[in-house]
Structure 1
Amino acid sequence: MFHKTLPIFYLLCSLFFVSCGNTTSVSEAPVTPENNVDFTTVFSNGHSNFKSPTQQLITSTKQLEALYATINSTRKPGIPLPNINFDTHEAFFFCPGEVSHGVDGLKVAKVYAKNNTLYVQLAPGKNDDSGLVTTVMSQPAVLIAFEQQGLPVVIAAAKNTN
């Protein structure tokens, strides 16, 4: 009797395993394309005179003059005020604050719009291959200009390409 029910048991088990598939479905979020935005680096320097982290979207000459007043507060003569047409362009200033390593300034890898936000992606810093450690206080900063977007701006971390 047991020999007669064994093939039926195998058949039922096979049907059970075949009919039981992965019932969970994974739905991926729709991929939103990045729209690259052309930009110009206006200022990149290791000494900005901003000791605390600062990021500012600049939409007028008055805001730009106030920014350069701080940048030039310890420079004689100061860096000349750049000519940016705020009727068609806006600018973005970023400084991580005072850091304990010397850098020439920050660099922007790309600017892109995604999900109604403008992202400013920093370029990765170059590591010193000598193994020497430099400790010097600096306030690196970057100022970029681009066509008006009317979007909030977010800093995107640098992506290492190693």
Structure 2
Amino acid sequence: MRSIQLFLCLLVISCSGQKGVPQDKAHSSVQKSGELQLILADNYSGVEQSEFQIVRDAKTLKNFFLQINRTRKPGLPIPEVDFSKELLLIYCAGTTRGVGGAALLLIKDSQDSIVVGPKELTPSKKEVTYVTTTPFSIYKMLLTPKEISFQQLK
């Protein structure tokens, strides 16, 4: 009986020792202002022309997912976003041949503006297929008062 009490006492002490984690280490994964974080990418959006969109509210995000989930059963789930703290950048690459698509990258982050643009992703030789795709990617970043613009790279 005494050994059980000792074990329970040690268990309680060890569990309460985990509460003192410093805040700066607990939130080390918090993204910086202007940093893009990929939250979803897929090869089929149904959007045939290259398109860039800034999403600042849940209604716009829902409308985008209604469009890409038209032919999916089951559809892709809508990511949860706190629009009071974050915004989303959606890039649809348009119709492409083969799997690869494009990713967004930060081109310039100045005091009053942020410029993003696509970086073409080339598949490895093993992944080369001759399929028509309409890839898209969704990125999350912290809410910012800066003007965000899109620049097609040449």
Contact 1:38/1:111 (8 A) holds in 2: no
Deviant stretches of 4+, over 6 Å: none
1:108 partnered with 2:107? no
Gap runs ≥5 in structure 1: 1-34
Count of matched residue pairs = 122
Match of 1:5 in 2: none
Post-superposition offset of 1:119: 2.0
Equivalent residue in structure 2 for 1:54, among 30, 51, 62:
51
SS in 1 for 2:97: coil
Match of 2:14 in 1: none
1:117 partnered with 2:121? no
Kindly indicate which of the two structures has a greater share of residues assigned to strand: 2
Structure of greater Rg: 1
User: What TM-score does the superposition give when structure 1 sets the normalisation length?
Assistant: 0.64
Find the aligned partners of 2:105 and 2:84 in 1 and give their Cα distance: 25
Find the aligned partners of 1:127 and 1:84 in 2 and give their Cα distance: 30
RMSD: 2.7
Kindly indicate which of the two structures has a greater share of residues assigned to helix: 2
1:146 partnered with 2:137? no
Q: How does 1:82-97 map to 2 (within 5 A)?
A: 82-97=79-94
Identity of aligned residues (%): 18
SS in 2 for 1:76: coil
Match of 2:36 in 1: 39
Post-superposition offset of 1:100: 1.9
Change in Cα spacing, 1:55 to 1:139, as seen in structure 2 (3 Å) is same
Deviations 1:117-143 (Å, cap 9, x if unpaired)?
31224444235447x963211001111
Find the aligned partners of 2:49 and 2:62 in 1 and give their Cα distance: 19
Post-superposition offset of 1:101: 2.2
Q: Which amino acid aligns with 1:135?
A: Y
User: What TM-score does the superposition give when structure 2 sets the normalisation length?
Assistant: 0.66
Match of 1:157 in 2: 153
Post-superposition offset of 1:111: 6.3
Equivalent residue in structure 2 for 1:67, among 60, 64, 68:
64
Contact 1:110/1:121 (8 A) holds in 2: yes
Find the aligned partners of 1:65 and 1:51 in 2 and give their Cα distance: 19
Deviations 1:56-109 (Å, cap 9, x if unpaired)?
110000000001111111111111110011111111111121112222x43334
Contact 1:58/1:92 (8 A) holds in 2: yes
Gap runs ≥5 in structure 2: 1-31
Q: Which amino acid aligns with 1:72?
A: N
SS in 2 for 1:68: helix
